[in-house]
Amino acid sequence: MSNYSKSAADYISMHKMTAHPEGGFYKEIFRAKTNVETVRGERSSATSIYFLLEQGQISHLHRIAFEELWTYIDGGPLEIFMILDGRMTICVLDENNPICLIPPGVWFGSRPKTETAFCICTCTVAPGFDFEDFEMADYDRLSNEYPDISDLKDVCLS
């Protein structure tokens, strides 16, 4: 029996969330009207999405060009894994640690902890997210670049 006020299906339906290419579900909820010029071209100054993962789903390793701030909303603990300084580092997002910052250009992904039915959070990117700034990890490339990280195969889509 869940202690959550809503189920994953409730959130997905209520927010009209769709499948995300990295895994899980999302819905854009904010895109600033103010644009900024970046080295990658003009972008919205900030964007935010709802992002939800259910048990058994994984947000595969990927990276984006700019900082991303994850904020916990509901559900169980979520592991956000990042490659920092050549090592896999984990930030657990939950009600006790409701914020996790992903530096720009860092490979990262996420998955619910074993006891977690689902987790919903917001992901805010500044300057704003654009799929032109999004790159999925390639296992062969990353395994050559980070040979000491043994579980890359589990968190890469290809």
At residue 1, the pLDDT reads 35
At residue 152, the pLDDT reads 81
Q: Which CATH number is 130's domain given?
A: 2.60.120.10
The C-alpha atoms of residue 120 and residue 72 are separated, in whole angstroms, by 7
Residue 75 is assigned to a structural domain of this protein: yes
Beta strand pairing call for 108-112 and 78-84? antiparallel
Q: How many domains does the chain have?
A: 1
Q: Are 123 and 67 in contact (CB under 8 A)?
A: no
Residue 157 is assigned to a structural domain of this protein: no
Look up the domain containing 114 and give its range: 28-148
Residue 16 is assigned to a structural domain of this protein: no
Residue 19 is assigned to a structural domain of this protein: no
pTM of the entire structure?
0.92
The tens digit of pLDDT for each residue in 84-97 reads: 999 999 999 999 99
The tens digit of pLDDT for each residue in 11-38 reads: 999 999 999 988 999 999 999 999 999 9
Residue 13 is assigned to a structural domain of this protein: no
Residue 143 is assigned to a structural domain of this protein: yes
Residue 33 is assigned to a structural domain of this protein: yes
